[in-house]
Chain A
Amino acid sequence: GAVVSQHPSWVICKSGTSVKIECRSLDFQATTMFWYRQFPKQSLMLMATSNEGSKATYEQGVEKDKFLINHASLTLSTLTVTSAHPEDSSFYICSANPRGGYEQYFGPGTRLTVT
């Protein structure tokens, strides 16, 4: 149980285009979903927290107009990187927090490369 999926697992896009990443909790309802960014050999950097049906809360320094988060249901959250640039290339990981639980379960990550 407690499986979180992400799609796509990797994506290459051209500079200036937008890309959407989906995060789904497959076997539980997620009160809260989180989006992280991770650079090589570094820890996870929290970008934003989203609760179903409400606006995401972004961490300081994260551009909310660039990284659009939609938490459409208790099992689905999406991250859209708008007008992507090479510096947005990174490993993006989502996680989900089950209702009433402390645990956070992570997706497998999405490798974004902007050319």
Chain B
Amino acid sequence: QQQVKQSPQSLIVQKGGISIINCAYENTAFDYFPWYQQFPGKGPALLIAIRPDVSEKKEGRFTISFNKSAKQFSLHIMDSQPGDSATYFCAATFSGYSTLTFGKGTMLLVSP
């Protein structure tokens, strides 16, 4: 019930392409879905987050798509750049419970 399943485990995208990372959850009580970006040797940084009252949220080149009925959400990175090469984690939590449930992470490599 508490799992968040993330795919793919790793991803190679050409510069300028679109990177897509998917997550699926089971617990319908989840109502906050953040994405974190982590560079090697650094802590995760909050990238973008969505609540289930909207189906899409865009911030610059990063977009979260949310499908409540399918219990899935995804991160799209448009015009991917080598500087986007990092590990991305999806997560979920719900109101009144601050602990995040993380996916296993996706290692993204954007080739020049």
Give residues of chain A (77-110) contacting chain B, Cβ–Cβ below 8 Å: 91, 93, 95, 97, 102-109
Name the CB-closest residue of B to A46.
B99
CB-CB under 8 A from A31, the residues of chain B are: 98
A49 to B98 Cα, complex, angstroms: 9
Q: Nearest A residue to B43 by beta-carbon distance?
A: A106
Given A43-B105, A44-B89; A49-B42 close (CB under 8 Å): no
Which stretch in B44-52, B55-63, B70-78 binds the other chain?
Answer: B44-52
- Contact residues in B for A67 (Cβ distance below 8 Å): none
Interface residue? A111 (CB, 8 A): yes
Contact status A32-B103, CB under 8 Å = no
> Across the two chains, which residue of chain A brings its CB closest to B105?
A43
Chain B contact patch, size range? 20 to 34
Contact A97 B44 (CB under 8 A): no
Which residues of chain A have C-beta atoms less than 8 A from B99's C-beta?
Answer: 34, 46, 49
Grouping DSSP codes into helix (H, G, I), strand (E, B) and loop, the A interface class, with mixed when no group exceeds half, is strand
Q: Give chain A residues whose Cβ lies under 8 Å from the Cβ of B102.
A: 43-44
Among A2, A43, A102, A107, point to the contact of B93 (Cβ < 8 A): A102
B104 within 8 Å of A (CB atoms): yes
Q: Is the CB of A103 within 8 A of B34?
A: yes
25 A–B pairs (Cβ distance < 8 Å), ordered by A: A31-B98, A41-B107, A42-B104, A43-B89, A43-B102, A43-B103, A43-B105, A44-B89, A49-B99, A93-B43, A93-B44, A95-B43, A97-B98, A103-B34, A103-B46, A103-B49, A104-B46, A104-B100, A105-B46, A106-B36, A108-B43, A109-B41, A109-B42, A109-B43, A111-B41
Interface residues of A (CB under 8 A from B): 2, 4, 6, 31-32, 34, 41-44, 46, 49, 91, 93, 95, 97, 102-109, 111
